[in-house]
Amino acid sequence: MEDVTTTTAVRELPHPAREEIRLETVLHALADPTRLRIVTTLDTFGEGEGLGATCSQVDVPVSASTLTHHFRVLRESGVINQCYRGTSKISCLRRTDLDPLFPGLLDAVLNAARNV
Amino acid sequence: MEDVTTTTAVRELPHPAREEIRLETVLHALADPTRLRIVTTLDTFGEGEGLGATCSQVDVPVSASTLTHHFRVLRESGVINQCYRGTSKISCLRRTDLDPLFPGLLDAVLNAARNV
DNA sequence: CCCGTAGTACGGCGGTTATCGTACTAGGCG
DNA sequence: CGCCTAGTACGATAACCGCCGTACTACGGG
């Protein structure tokens, strides 16, 4: 399907551009207990180069396919960034985009989620 | 059905107590465009005694029954307070409860919603 | 080259949601 | 009392969501 010219193809994942991130979608993504748990966990892993967490590093009581689903919802809503590294996939929060777009929102949610 | 002993019965509406308000539920309530519109409108009407807005003062393109539904979701999630005043129903934000529970959350959402 | 690990695509199932129309109740006014 | 306005309760419907299992792909190591 794709023009794979090298043996190690870069598997890209679709992300919304910063301008495409919508508040309602972000809120919807954060409104699920499982995803909220994922987000709070990712927050402890950092966002820089070489940082982030794999899917299996997040401890949530759902099946693998459900986990994939939740990560996709978070990615497509613009909450997290995902890239492949070897056989695993690294996820991290998109603070660089979210904080300018919705100042204080992510921090307020994370802070509230931790105190529950 | 009810024991209406006086001609002017006080019609009470069920609200969750402050401790019963859950973050996920609040986020879910705010994740709908129509409800977000309602909330931003209510914010401009104030929260004090004698303040607040009636259902019909909110300009959203939905039917009356759908509007009732959205107001109920907001009330049952703890986002708004509702009381009857004569033939109409007054709604206002529950900042007094929300702000201590989730510091900065409502302001961040309202601020983000206004800049869209 | 084969296999294990990590993650995905797909289809299905059951519960929730947003929407509406219709029929109804509550309160105020003449 | 009769009527109007404001809001509600109910039922229907179509869409969506969270969850799962199964079958699959991608990469890296022995």
Quote the domain boundaries for residue B50. Answer: 18-109
* Per-residue pLDDT at B3 exceeds 70: no
- Which residues of chain B (97-116) touch nucleic strand D at CB < 7 A? none
Which pLDDT score, from 0 to 100, does residue B6 have? 36
Residue B13 domain flag: no
Q: Are A48 and B40 in contact, with CB atoms under 8 Å apart?
A: no
The one-letter code for the residue type at B7 is T
Segment A60-74 mean pLDDT: 96
Q: What average pLDDT does chain A have?
A: 89
Segment A62-82 mean pLDDT: 97
Domain count, chain A: 1
* Per-residue pLDDT at A50 exceeds 90: no
Please tell me which residue of chain B has the smallest CA distance to A113. B23
Q: How far does A62 lie from chain B, in Å, by closest CA?
A: 18
Which pLDDT score, from 0 to 100, does residue B52 have? 85
Residue A70 domain flag: yes
Residue B45 domain flag: yes
Residue A62 domain flag: yes
Strongest mean pLDDT among A52-61, B10-19, B33-42: B33-42
The nucleotides of chain D lying under 7 Å from a protein CB are 5-11, 17-23, 26-28
Residue A48 domain flag: yes
CA pair distance B60, B66, nearest whole angstrom: 10
- Domain with B58 in it: what CATH number? 1.10.10.10
A108·B103 Cβ contact <8 A: yes
Burial class (CB in 10 A: 0-12, 13-18, 19+), B5: exposed
Give the CA B10 to C1' D1 distance in Å. Answer: 24
Burial class (CB in 10 A: 0-12, 13-18, 19+), B52: buried
Angle, CA A94 vertex, CA A88 and CA A98 arms, to 5°: 160
Residue B43 domain flag: yes
